[in-house]
Amino acid sequence: MPKSDRQTITLFRPTGPKELALIKQSGDREFPPRLPEQPIFYPVLNEEYAAQIARNWNAASIDTGYIGYVTRFQVRAEFLSRYSVKTVGGSIHQEYWIPAEDLPEFNCNIVGLIEVISEFRQSPT
Give the per-residue SS3 of 44-89: ECCHHHHHHHHHHCHHHCHHHCCEEEEEEEEEEHHHHCCCCEEECC
- Percent of the residues in the chain that have a pLDDT greater than 90, as a whole number: 90
- Residues 23-40 pLDDT 10s: 999 999 999 999 999 999
Q: Rounded mean pLDDT of the chain?
A: 94
- Residues 46-88 pLDDT 10s: 999 999 999 999 999 998 999 999 999 999 999 999 999 999 9
CA–CA separation, 15 vs 124, rounded Å?
A: 18
pLDDT of residue 4: 44
